[in-house]
Chains A and B, each alone.
Chain A
């Protein structure tokens, strides 16, 4: 099965293209691929409970795994308890794991 990891670095409020990223990941999953998203940098703002973005709903409805970079969360004072359901904290080792597995990793 083709595997994709999308690294999203952008704040969903500042950059509406994050919605396009979510649509792309969801379409990949619906096409039969394994797709997941790692939120890093200001991208982790989408991971908060109540964040004003539909991106997480779009991703979860398609079965896309969503991870949030621990370091970026910590830098921004976002605690695990503040994460929306389904978002899993992760380290950047996730990127290395996926690259070694042969996944296509896309940086946004």
Chain B
């Protein structure tokens, strides 16, 4: 596309709790794979999506090792979105709500994530072609 479109997304759900997050990230992935510029504002529990200290675990109940369990980690999905955007020459911004981060002690985010405020979401919406809000259930 000659003039890249930009889409903004607001996420609110914490990781490991709801299929909504997986679906929302699949939608963002679809935008990234089309070379669309993406802006994500993570609010409330969603600030834990790019939390750098997420660790994969084994599954003792089913007798599987860490490698066999291959536990999915949202921080790796977010990192994958950032890498794929860069590979396609598209812009990708991920802003964590600073107050939400402080409340939860979620300050350790992966590279490429920055701290902001709800005003950033307003700026994202203003500067994007369209916006999708993914609220909590």
Q: Which residues of B contact A (CB under 8 A)?
A: 5, 7, 19-20, 23, 26-27, 30-31, 34, 36, 129-130, 132-135, 137
Contact = CB atoms under 8 A, between A and B. Distances in A.
* Chain B interface, >50% SS class: mixed
Interface string A85-108: 000000111011001101101010
Interface of A: 9-10, 40-42, 69, 71-72, 91-93, 95-96, 99-100, 102-103, 105, 107
Contacts of A10: 137
17 contacts: A9-B19, A9-B23, A41-B19, A72-B19, A92-B23, A96-B27, A96-B36, A100-B5, A100-B7, A100-B129, A102-B130, A103-B130, A105-B130, A107-B20, A107-B132, A107-B133, A107-B134
A92 B135 contact: no
B10 to A, nearest CB: 10
A96 B23 contact: no
Contacts of A99: 7, 31, 129-130, 132
B110 to A, nearest CB: 24
Nearest to A9: B20
Nearest to A42: B19
A100 B31 CA distance: 10
Nearest to A101: B130
Given A91-B30, A92-B30, 20 more contacts: A9-B19, A9-B23, A9-B137, A10-B137, A40-B23, A41-B19, A69-B23, A71-B23, A72-B19, A72-B23, A92-B26, A92-B27, A93-B34, A95-B27, A96-B30, A99-B31, A99-B129, A100-B129, A100-B130, A105-B130
Nearest to A102: B130
